[in-house]
Each structure stands twice: as C-alpha cells, then as structure tokens.
Amino acid sequence: MKKLLALLLCVVMMLPAIALAADDGRIHITYSFWGNQTEAESVQAALDTFNAMQDKIFVEPMQIPNEEYTQTLVNYAIAKQLPDCGMVNENAVLYFARNGVMADVSDMYAGEALQPMDCITFKDAGVPVGYSSSNEILVLYYNKDMFDAAGVPYPSADKPYTWDEFVDVAKKLTFDENGKHPGEEGFNPEKIVQYGAFVNNWTWQMEVWALSNGGAWFSEDGKEVLINSPEAIESIQKVADLALVEHVAPLNVIPEDNGVGIGIGSGTVAMTTDGTWRLGTDFPNLDINYGIAPLPVMKEQVTLCTSGLTGVFNGKNQEAAYEFVKWYTREESNWEPLVLTGIWLPKSEYYYTTEEGINAWLGNEKYPYNHDMETGKKVLVDYTMNYAKPACWYFTPNTQITTNEILFTALQYVWSGERTAADVIAEIYPELCEAIIVE
Amino acid sequence: MTAKPMKKMIKYNRAESRTAYLCLLPSIIGLVCITYLPMLASFTLSLFSWNGLGAMKFIGADNYIRLFTKDTKFYASLLSTLQYAGMAVIGSMIYSLIIAMLLNRKVPARGFFRALFYLPYVLPAMAVYLGWKWLFDFNHGFFNYAIKSLGGSSVKFLDASGMVTPSLTLIAVWLSGNLIVIFLAGLQNVPRIYHEAAEIDGANAFQRFCHVTLPCMTPIIFYNLLMSLVSNLQVITPALSLTKGGPGTGSYYMCYMLYNQAFKSHKYGYGSAIAVILFILIAIFTGILFATSKGWIFYEGDDKG
Amino acid sequence: MTTSALPKKHMRISSKRKKERLVSILCTAALVLLGLMVMFPIYWIFRSSLMSNGELYAYPPSFLPPEWRFSNYAETLKVFDYMQFLGNTMTILVPSVIGAVITATMGGYAFARLRFRGKKFLFTLCVGSMLLPSMVTLIPLFLVWAKLNLVNTYWPLILPHFCGGGAFNIFLIRQFVKTVPRELDEAATIDGCGHFKILVFIILPAIKSAMIVVGLLKFIELWNDLLQQVTYITRRDRYTLALGLNIFKGSFNDDWSSIMCATCLSFIPGIVFYLIGQRYFVEGIVMTGMKN
C-alpha cells in the first residue's frame, strides 16, 4: 500500500519536469533575482513588458532567496548552468568579473544620452566592469514628533551637524523612565525609554565614518588597506561609544540589515542613519512623521553611494541577455515600481543635473519626499553630485572576505564594548592586507 | 529455510547473508553514492586553492598549515564548538530523560503534555530562533525587562562573546523534543514483566529505576548520547539564523566557519580542510563513545557477536 | 501467600496508594511548571505574529499584544501561497519519509539481527557517514544532478532518502531491534519463518514506535532543510514552505510580523503529523504483547 502510494507520488511529481517550454522560435533566457513578493511582481511585470515588446527573446525569471543568492549562483556556475543574466550582489561584482563570469558591458551606454554616474561604476584596477542599476546614498532620518516634543529644532539640510552637535542633540532626545537625560544627575542607563540616535553599524555602512573623519578603509586604487589609520579607528570607536559611553543609542552588537527597524522604525529612537531605499521600502509602512537630513560630519562632508548591479553572464545566449539587460537597466523600464516609489535613486547624471530631470522624479507627486522638494534637492541631489563616494566594493576586490567576513566578525568586539577599535584593527590588519591581494 | 541461529558458527549462513545484503542494498548505494564518493571529492579539494569560479590550484597541505598556524579564529572556533556541544549534550540528555520519565507515568492529560514538550522541536528553526531573539534581546527583550523589573542589571545574553554559547545551549535544551520522543519510545519498550518482577521482589521506585529501567534503556541512552553529541558538534543553525557567528567568535562554531569560508567567502579548498578536521574531531569523540559503550550497554536481544 | 498475612498487606497497599498519589501529584505539578516554561517562548513567537513591526521593538515589551492584529494573518495569506507551498512540500516529504522509514528499517534490522561478511566494516561506514554535515557533499552532488539535468525537479530532494534514510535512522532502528527479546524470533524460526518474515511479522510490530520516530525525525529534518532546497529549486511555482518564507525577505527590508505569521502557519503540518504519530506510539506497545 505504502509503496504504491510512494510510486504514485513519484509519477505525479515527474509531471512538471516533463512539461517543457514549447519551441516558439524565440531565444529563451533566464534572469535571476532575489526579492520579496512585491519585488517579484514588479520584476515579472517588467519581464512581461519586455516579452511583449519584441518577438525574438523571451525572458524567464529565476528566483533565489536573498541570503543564499550568491552562493547558489556560484553553484550553478560550477555546474555550467548559470542563468543568462541576473542581479549581482555588490560585494560579488568584482569576484564575478575577475573570474570571467560576467560579459564585458563597458560600452553598453556608449553614445547614449543617459550616462551612468562615475561613482556607481564598478572598476577593476581602474577599468569599468559594470554599472549599478540605480543609486543609493546614506542619509540621516529623524522623527519630527520627537524633536517637537523635546523642543529641539530639526536637523538642517544646509548645515549638517558636527559630530559633537549630533551627540548633544542625541542626549537631549534620550531619556530614561524618570525623564532624565544622559549626563544628568540620577540618569539610569539601564532604563532608557527613548534613544536619541542610532548610527547603523552594518559593516559596509561604517566606511562612511572613516571617510567623514578624514580617513579611508582602502586606497582608491583598491590595493592598500588604510583602516589602521588613526582617523579610521577613531571613527569606529566614536560610533561604538554612542551606545557604550554616551548612552544615546541602543546596543547593536551583531549588526543586521535592518537599521531602520532597530532605529527610528521602532518608535523609540529619534534619529537613524541608513540608505535612501528606505524611503520606498520602510517608511510607507511606518506610521512615523519623519524628515531627512545629511549625515553628521566628523571632519568632512561625505556620504556613501552604492547599489546592486544587473549582470550579463557569459554563455551562448549572451547577446540576447545583453539586449535585455540594456533595456532593463534604463530608469524608464522600472520607473513606476522602483524610482517613483523611492526605492531607487536614478543612476544617470541627467536626473541630477537638469531641472526637468530632477522634476521627473523628485517633482512627481508620487515620490515619497515630494512634499519637501527643497530639502530633497539638498540632501538627495546635491549630496549625490558633490559629496558621494563609492563604497569600497566598487574598487576593492574580495570585499566578500574583507568586509563581510573579517571586519564583520572583528568589529563585534567593539560594538559589545569588550575591546577597543584600535586593539581589534591592529589584530586583523595583516589578515585584511592579505585578503585584498589579487591573485 | 530452517536456519538456526548458532552462536559459535563461523561460517555465515547463506540465506541469512542474502537477506542481509538485500536489506542493506539501498543503504549501501546511499553510503557510496551520496555520502562517501562526494565526501572524498570534497576532501581532495582541501589540497587545492579554489574560489569556485576560477581555476583550481594544487597547494598541498597549505590549507591545513594555515588553519593551524595562522588562523586565530580556528582555535576560537574549536573551543566554542566543544563548549557548546558539552553543555548542550549534558543539558539536553538530563532534561529529556527527566521529562520522558515524567511523561511515562500515569499523569492527567498525558497526550497533551507529550505534544507540548515535543512542540519546540517541530517548529521551523527560523521561527524558533527569532522568537528567542526577542526574549534574549539586550534592548527590548523580555528576559532583560524581567531582570530589570526585579532590580537586577541587564545581561548581555547574546551580546557578549562569553555569554552567547550558554544562552544558545539553553535553546538547545528547550529544543530537545526529539530526544524526549526517543526516550519515551524506549521507556515503552521496557518490558513490564521486569518491573513487576522487581516490584514483587520488593524493590522501591529508585531501585527499580537503577536496576530495571536504566539497564534496559542503555541502548537508547547510547543512541541519544551519540546522536546529540554528533549533531551538537555539527551545530550551525543558531549561529546562522541568530548570531551570525558572533559576537566576535563567541558562536563561530566549526560548521559555521566551514559554511562561511566555503559558501560565503568562496574559499572552497579552505572550507574542505575545515571539514576534514571536523570529521576527525567527531570521529574521535564517536570512537571514544563506542569504545566505552561495550562496558555499559545491555542488549536484550543481542547476538553477542 | 498465607491467609494470616492478608490484613497486614492490605494496610501496606493503602499506604502505598497514598504515597503513589503524592508522587503522582508531584509529577503533575512538575510537568505543569516545566510545561509553562516550555510554552513561554512559543507563546512569545505567537504573540509576535500578532504585532506590528513597530510594536515588536517597543520598550518595555508588552506581554499581550497591544492590539490583537489577526489581520496580520489575512495580510500574510494574501501573498504567502500557503496551499501551493504546502502541496510542494508534501510532494517532497511524503515519499521521502516513506522511503526513509522503509529503507532504514531494513538496514537497521540487518545490522541488529543478521550475520554476514563485512558487517563490522559496513556498520563503521554507516556510523562514519554521520560525522559530517550534508553541506560538505552539496557541491559534488549538485554537479551530478546538474549533469543528469534534474535541477529544478524534486528528484534530487527525494531520491537520496530512499537510500537508507540516513545513518542516524538506520542506527536508531538497530538500537530498537536490539531491545526486542531474541526469544521471539527464535520461536518464529522454529515455526519455520525466514528472516524476512521475522522482520515483517515479529520485528516490525515491536518497533513500530521507533519507526514513527524515524518518520518524525525525517519529517522535521526535511522541513528545516533550507540549504538543499535553495540549491535545487529556483522556480517560484515549485517553492516549498521553507523557501516560501523567504518571500518576506526583500532585497532591502524584512517584514518580521509577516514572517512570524507565515512561520506560525507552517507549524501546523508538523504538529498534525506528530499528533497522528502519537496514536501509533501508544498502540506500539500494545501490539508487541509485552505490556503485561
């Protein structure tokens, strides 16, 4: 009986495997991506548009969970069954490019009116190997109601906080269950009800503070590790001390990719630094009266820009995939679901340097920060054009090892207060130097 | 077909052998094709440097040399693995044996209680660890809230490298529903006659436990011990879904290190070297367990050979 | 037993009854207490599923949800294609569990009762295969399945379980077969039963509860086995429950309350399976004929 049942089930199970795609004379290619339900639907919508537009290529989606994305793609690459194109995690772009997985797309936008910005161009030893599909920068989000309640003026879009001002304001916004602020007589750090600030300590975002403090993590040619400079070390310690010494931030020892969730989104933190995609992904679902401002400044005004990439993978359908990716990565192809919702900032200079370009997104009433265009222009447009530096994976090989493995683990000792930043960095410095050497 | 089981027969009975091989055929295929051949391939890889996409480079024992002489995380990983396994095995064995014995008595709503203690184990791992995260969390977790309300000062359950392993073993003990079920099945297999005979002989409950239940349970205890030892030395899920190996190397268990090096950092050769070390480590512990087992296991239906 | 001893014995029995009742009450109390402790984290998970993302991070944590958002479940079910994912999961699980139970029982029986050349060696191999996590063999196996063009079908996730069902399970069955008194099959041998008949008619009924346990362990193992499923299944219409939970993890943000809802929903089949299994569990001893 049981065996029969098993056999029956096996047969049923085989059916989907047999139902293969009919030969319709088109080149069938696969596009791999990760994402939640909404994202999957918008991908499918874009694919449908493309498939309906022409009759030579048919694109099929291939969905892989986010956390296992890169490793699964690598498995498929080892088995020589890589999809024809797909999203690539920032920290894997140079790894893929160096190992001959990605096709050369350096002249994809040659002669086009819209040129992707330089700061979101992935470069291997100076040579462009790919362009991000969008732009994202880091900004400061603040809860207007909490500022009003504390009688503190909102952060200015023209004149960013210095770090000391930032800490002072954070102290005014932090209070324990008796309403006492840090530094006051009788303040109890064990029973804080509201925190003033949370600086997202998700590893890659920490690089911005080294730049802000006049240092860097890596040299611009990607060949040297500079994280052991006093400026870089001090910047890490300053962020850690927000929770450990100043008591203005919640402790976050094992960082996860949910800065807004821990910070401002929890309703118990007044200010949070995080990326601009949160405008579209988090804030529409949060019932918070928020504003945006530039990041506080340690010594230099700076922000970090980054975004994932859509790659064409080498293979027999490379040309069809190239054509699809070229279409897919234009802002217009994802205008409604990704740009106007606030998830993507445009990647082409046109949208930042011309009045009509800016008006097309920031001026559109669907855009989440449309209600305050002046601030939007200063924080999003000016910062992207004048103060944005590329995150380290745009020019440093092996970031999946240096930042995701070595720094991620080691810095946790700093966040927990067990060791100082200087001590930890000194220990891992040789390991980092070894990891960025290119074979 | 009248094969008589003879204890001193050296020659194997042909019919018996044939049945045995037939019964074992699927297992043998499985062992060869889906365990040992791929494992061998993986182990060979430990002599290479390979990033998955590029070319493989033979480097001899370099991966091992690096592991033992240069990688500071390796010893930390070894230590935290042993610490976790030790605490989790002892804790969950004692806990589950006690629960199983309580559940084997005539208590009201026995079925309900059985389901209850087993419940943690059926829950999807991801949900379990997320739920515990909100209990253990330093800032808004329930445990610290309770401690602070009672006047204590907050504990960094998951936020200090020294505390994380004890905290995670607490979850492991809570999760040991599988051991409870196996103990329970074993307790039910202890023949009633033995208990009744002992009772007639005037043995009290404790004596009966020591002289009847325990000896009859030894094969099951051995199995549970082995299983929890092996699976706890291979611990990875809590590190993967809750602590990401941290803080620092506090929960950087060997299996997590292996996964991280091979699949996340794309150092497949290096990951394979860790796999070999892990294999040897677990083999040593298993070997010790088997070697001592002869002295304390009582098999009722043993073939003594 | 002489008549004169009777009254005295009666007294002894009644005092013994009292003592037994006391022990029984103590045991129940202990169970209730431990049960509450075990239930608490489960309650906490359930509570979390009824809260908004903001409420989850609030301080102080609220013991009861500030607002019972059962609508979370409705929202979740809108995007979480529960029935399809469940169907896919079962398509993998049911044959795998059956295959594992059957082949593990055969293997365990051979190791426990039969004598044959190479038994020690095979058994060592079997134990040896438990010593490594399955991720070590993931890539070599994936290469083979890819060569056979079976990626994105369920075969790579099912067929391996027909090969012994894992060393742990073979070993578990072996341990249980060993607790079955040998006299039983010796008696059957005298009646003219072969080894196969002994397995089916003597051993199987006696170790029924162990087989249920194997089924349960396999069930849970497959339920949580994300790594294999991630590797082999990349088509959304073939997603399993474990994979399906990932649809709440976006490229940028995670919707925790939906994840908690979906996980709470995915508990249900595991619990149902346990409840069904538990009945056989108790029956198991009755059928062995060893109850009295």
Mean pLDDT over each residue of chain A, to the nearest integer? 89
Could you tell me if B80 and B73 are in contact, meaning their C-beta atoms sit under 8 angstroms apart? no
When pLDDT is averaged across residues C228-236 and rounded to a whole number, the result is: 86
Contact yes or no for C95 and A9 at CB 8 A: yes
Contact yes or no for A281 and C250 at CB 8 A: yes
What integer pLDDT is reported at residue C88 of this predicted model? 93
What integer pLDDT is reported at residue C291 of this predicted model? 30
pLDDT beyond 90 at C9: no
Q: Is residue C44 part of a domain?
A: no
Question: A-chain residues within 8 Å CB-CB of B154?
Answer: 190
Contact yes or no for A254 and B159 at CB 8 A: yes
Cβ within 8 Å of C, B 18-47: 19-24, 26-31, 33-39, 41-42
Contact yes or no for C139 and B268 at CB 8 A: yes
Question: B-chain residues within 8 Å CB-CB of C103?
Answer: 26-27, 30
Structure tokens at A397: 């090989």
What integer pLDDT is reported at residue A5 of this predicted model? 54
Could you tell me if B115 and C275 are in contact, meaning their C-beta atoms sit under 8 angstroms apart? yes
What integer pLDDT is reported at residue A182 of this predicted model? 94
pLDDT beyond 80 at B11: no
- From A352's Cα to the closest Cα of chain B, the distance in A is 36
Please give the model's pTM, rounded to 2 decimal places: 0.89
> CA-based angle A210:A211:A214, to the nearest 5?
90
Could you tell me if A77 and B52 are in contact, meaning their C-beta atoms sit under 8 angstroms apart? yes
pLDDT beyond 70 at A290: yes
Contact yes or no for C35 and B113 at CB 8 A: yes
Q: Does A91 touch chain B (CB under 8 A)?
A: no
Q: Does C57 touch chain B (CB under 8 A)?
A: yes
Q: Does A96 touch chain B (CB under 8 A)?
A: yes
Could you tell me if A305 and A120 are in contact, meaning their C-beta atoms sit under 8 angstroms apart? yes
What integer pLDDT is reported at residue A157 of this predicted model? 93
**Which band of pLDDT confidence, cut at 50, 70 and 90, is reported for residue B301?**
low
Rounded CA separation B7/B18 (Å):
19
Residue located via tokens 């002669």: A111
The proportion of chain A whose per-residue pLDDT surpasses 90, expressed as a percent, equals 61
How many Cα neighbours within 13 Å face the side chain of B138?
Answer: 22
Contact yes or no for C31 and B119 at CB 8 A: no
Which of A277, A299, A294 lies closest to A133 in space, CA to CA?
A277
Mean pLDDT over each residue of chain B, to the nearest integer? 86
When pLDDT is averaged across residues B142-150 and rounded to a whole number, the result is: 88
When pLDDT is averaged across residues B139-155 and rounded to a whole number, the result is: 86
pLDDT beyond 70 at B188: yes
- From C260's Cα to the closest Cα of chain A, the distance in A is 15
Strands (DSSP E) contained in C158-204 are none
Q: Which of A379-393, B81-95, B262-276, C221-235 has the lowest mean pLDDT?
A: C221-235
**Which band of pLDDT confidence, cut at 50, 70 and 90, is reported for residue B302?**
low
**Which band of pLDDT confidence, cut at 50, 70 and 90, is reported for residue C10?**
low
Question: B-chain residues within 8 Å CB-CB of C176?
Answer: 185-186, 189, 219-220
Q: Does A244 touch chain B (CB under 8 A)?
A: no
What integer pLDDT is reported at residue A8 of this predicted model? 54
Q: Report how many domains make up chain C.
A: 1
pLDDT beyond 50 at B168: yes
With a CB cutoff of 8 Å and minimum separation 6, the contacts of B53 are A74, A77, A78, A95, A96, A99, A100, A101, B266
Structure tokens at B298: 């009582």
Which of C162, C214, C164, C174 lies closest to B24 in space, CA to CA?
C164
Superfamily of domain A24-134+307-373: Periplasmic binding protein-like II (3.40.190.10)
Cβ within 8 Å of A, B 241-280: 243-249, 252, 260-261, 263-267
**pLDDT digit string, tens, across residues C240-288:** 888 887 777 665 556 677 777 888 888 788 778 777 777 765 444 333 3
What integer pLDDT is reported at residue C197 of this predicted model? 85
Q: Does C82 touch chain B (CB under 8 A)?
A: no
Domain range annotation of chain A:
24-134+307-373, 138-305+398-435
Rounded CA separation A117/C24 (Å):
76
Question: Which of C24, C38, C129 is facing B120, going by the closest CB pair?
Answer: C38
B107 compared with B250, residue with greater pLDDT: B250
Other CB atoms closer than 10 Å to residue A128's CB: what's the count?
Answer: 17
Rounded CA separation C265/C256 (Å):
14
Record: fold of B80-296:
MetI-like fold (1.10.3720)
Domain that includes residue C272, residue range: 74-288
Question: A-chain residues within 8 Å CB-CB of B267?
Answer: 401
When pLDDT is averaged across residues C91-104 and rounded to a whole number, the result is: 93
Domain range annotation of chain B:
80-296
Question: Which of A99, A100, A190 is facing B148, going by the closest CB pair?
Answer: A190
pLDDT beyond 80 at C167: yes
Structure tokens at C202: 């003597």
**pLDDT digit string, tens, across residues A368-408:** 999 999 999 999 999 999 999 999 999 998 888 888 889 99
Question: B-chain residues within 8 Å CB-CB of C119?
Answer: 20
**pLDDT digit string, tens, across residues C132-154:** 888 888 888 988 898 888 888 99
A398 compared with B127, residue with greater pLDDT: A398
Amino acid, single-letter form, for residue C2:
T
Contact yes or no for C107 and B24 at CB 8 A: yes
Could you tell me if C39 and C61 are in contact, meaning their C-beta atoms sit under 8 angstroms apart? no
Contact yes or no for A258 and C79 at CB 8 A: no
What integer pLDDT is reported at residue B10 of this predicted model? 59
CATH code of C261's domain:
1.10.3720.10
- Give the end-to-end CA distance of chain C in Å, rounded to a whole number: 22
When pLDDT is averaged across residues B51-63 and rounded to a whole number, the result is: 91
Contact yes or no for A266 and C99 at CB 8 A: no
Contact yes or no for B265 and A400 at CB 8 A: yes
Rounded CA separation C78/A5 (Å):
32
What integer pLDDT is reported at residue C107 of this predicted model? 93
Question: Which of A250, A254, A415 is facing B243, going by the closest CB pair?
Answer: A254
Residue A185 phi/psi, 5-degree rounding, is: -60, 130
What integer pLDDT is reported at residue C80 of this predicted model? 82
What integer pLDDT is reported at residue B151 of this predicted model? 83
Which of A407, A411, A427, A404 lies closest to A240 in space, CA to CA?
A411
- From C102's Cα to the closest Cα of chain B, the distance in A is 10
- From A231's Cα to the closest Cα of chain C, the distance in A is 30
Contact yes or no for A65 and C230 at CB 8 A: yes
Question: Which of B53, B154, B161 is facing A77, going by the closest CB pair?
Answer: B53
Structure tokens at B271: 């990951």
Torsion (CA) A82, A86, A87, A93 in degrees, nearest 10 = 60
- From C213's Cα to the closest Cα of chain B, the distance in A is 7
pLDDT beyond 80 at A15: no
When pLDDT is averaged across residues A258-286 and rounded to a whole number, the result is: 87
User: 3-class SS at A238?
Assistant: helix
Tell me if A24-134+307-373 shares its fold with A138-305+398-435: yes
C248 compared with A268, residue with greater pLDDT: A268
Amino acid, single-letter form, for residue A249:
A
What integer pLDDT is reported at residue A393 of this predicted model? 93
Element (H, E) at B107: none
When pLDDT is averaged across residues A325-333 and rounded to a whole number, the result is: 89
What integer pLDDT is reported at residue C4 of this predicted model? 47
The proportion of chain B whose per-residue pLDDT surpasses 70, expressed as a percent, equals 94
Identify the top-confidence range among A151-165, B140-154, C27-41: A151-165
Which one is the CATH code of A138-305+398-435: 3.40.50.300, 3.40.50.2300, 3.40.190.10, 3.30.450.40? 3.40.190.10
When pLDDT is averaged across residues C89-93 and rounded to a whole number, the result is: 91
Contact yes or no for C250 and A2 at CB 8 A: no
Torsion (CA) C39, C45, C51, C57 in degrees, nearest 10 = 110
Q: Does C289 touch chain B (CB under 8 A)?
A: no
**pLDDT digit string, tens, across residues A310-325:** 999 998 899 999 999 9
